[in-house]
């Protein structure tokens, strides 16, 4: 068994891939998955009304908007799939994955970061384009913002690892796939 310090990236004072760091992100992704899944059920007309304690008419307006129907699949369903990808990619690998599995950390960072930006954009669209608000959409965006920082820490640690491999003359491609992880 290795010590936790063996998994701390050089120059860091903590391990951004530790379970203590990742479990809250995974839990938040699961919360977002359920929120988006619930909203998708409304958009697919599987449930007749969407619960909203503050803006019931606003939620209806937002969830039936032209933006929500831009693609053949409701935007909430796409969000739910993205948030599930966040949770799964956050759960794969151990405490040293920033070094041993950079590919999954980068997938995780790409999943969390852009989905967070899209959530913020959708929140901005609510009052600007539709003069309405959706409570669950706002809650999902808030959760998204809290996930970005911690996910980007691990993403950065993996990029730094790949840079160290390159600087030491190693194969970045092999390191990206976890075939070269000895460079700390």
Interval 43-53: pLDDT, tens: 999 999 999 99
Mean pLDDT of 102-116: 88
The Cα 123–Cα 58 span in angstroms is 12
Q: Hey, is 15 helix, strand or coil?
A: coil
Which of the two residues, 117 and 19, has the higher pLDDT score? 19
CATH number for the domain spanning 126: value is: 1.20.1440.130
Phi, psi dihedrals of residue 45, rounded to the nearest 5°: 65, 30
pLDDT grade for 173, boundaries at 50, 70 and 90: very high
How many structural domains is the chain composed of?
A: 1
Phi-psi region of 2 (alpha: psi -120 to 50; beta: other; left: phi over 0): beta
- Residue 51 in domain: yes
- Residue 2 in domain: no
- Residue 170 in domain: no
Q: Which domain holds residue 109?
A: 16-155
Report the chain's mean pLDDT, rounded to a whole number.
90
Q: Hey, is 40 helix, strand or coil?
A: helix
What is this structure's pTM?
0.86
Cα 11 to Cα 62, 140, 142, 149: the distances in Å are 45, 33, 30, 18
- Supply the pLDDT for residue 182: 55
- Supply the pLDDT for residue 4: 59
Closest C-alpha to 64, from 150, 132, 146: 132
The Cα 40–Cα 78 span in angstroms is 9
Q: Hey, is 69 helix, strand or coil?
A: coil
- Supply the pLDDT for residue 1: 44
Percent of the chain with pLDDT over 70: 95
- Supply the pLDDT for residue 13: 95
Using only C-alpha atoms, what is the Rg of the chain? Answer: 19
- Residue 70 in domain: yes
The yes-or-no verdict on residue 124 having pLDDT over 70 is: yes
Q: For residue range 77-89, what is the model confidence (pLDDT) as tens digits?
A: 998 998 999 999 9
- Residue 34 in domain: yes
């Amino acid at each position: 068994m290795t010590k936790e310090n063996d998994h701390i990236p050089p120059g860091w004072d903590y391990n951004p891939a530790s379970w203590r760091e990742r479990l809250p992100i995974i839990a938040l992704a699961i919360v977002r998955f359920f929120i988006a899944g619930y909203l998708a059920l409304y958009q697919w007309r599987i449930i007749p009304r969407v619960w909203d304690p503050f803006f019931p008419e606003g939620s209806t307006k937002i969830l039936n908007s032209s933006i929500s129907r831009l693609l053949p699949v409701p935007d909430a369903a796409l969000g739910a799939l993205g948030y599930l990808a966040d949770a799964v990619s956050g759960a794969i690998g151990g405490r040293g994955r920033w070094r041993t599995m950079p590919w999954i950390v980068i997938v995780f960072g790409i999943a969390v970061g852009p989905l967070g930006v899209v959530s913020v954009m959708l929140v901005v669209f609510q009052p600007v384009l539709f003069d309405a608000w959706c409570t669950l959409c706002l809650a999902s965006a808030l959760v998204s913002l809290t996930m970005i920082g911690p996910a980007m820490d691990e993403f950065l640690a993996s990029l730094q690892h790949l840079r160290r491999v390159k600087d030491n003359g190693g194969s970045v491609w092999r390191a990206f796939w976890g075939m070269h992880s000895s460079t700390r």
